[in-house]
Amino acid sequence: MRKTSYGLAVLCLSALLAACGGSPSKESTGEYIDDSVITTKVKSAFVQDKVVDAVEVKVDTFKGNVQLSGFADSQSEIERAAQIAAKVPGVKSVRNDLRLKPAAQ
């Protein structure tokens, strides 16, 4: 009986610890809030900048990694957006997926 109880306790503890393990693809509530703050700060910095059109740039943040997407009028705007995002506190990396707007025909 004692071996069975001990084995059951070990099994329950193992299951509990496995359930507590973090998943690299999910965020905790704190990380989600931190990422929301980073996204807001990046967008705010774009609004204050005269080169980057904040309306055309989408900002997503996951675990401190910022992804920029959308369209820009020039290569310098694309580069400037990445520079601004990288300077925001809490940003670990910037993935710049901005594209040049197609030329009007």
State the pLDDT at residue 26.
75
Region for residue 99 given its phi and psi (left: phi exceeds 0; alpha: psi -120 to 50; beta: otherwise): beta
All residue ranges of the chain with pLDDT < 50 are 4-23
- CA quadruple 45, 50, 53, 55: dihedral, nearest 10: 60
State the pLDDT at residue 17.
41
Class of domain 35-100: alpha beta
State the pLDDT at residue 27.
74
State the pLDDT at residue 78.
98
Tell me the C-alpha distance between 42 and 51, whole Å: 14
DSSP state of 53: -
CA-based radius of gyration for the chain: 22
Q: Which residues contact 38 (CB under 8 A, 6 or more apart)?
A: 61, 64, 66, 88, 90, 91
State the pLDDT at residue 10.
42
Tell me the C-alpha distance between 80 and 46, whole Å: 9
State the pLDDT at residue 6.
45
The pTM of the full predicted model, rounded to 2 decimals, is 0.72
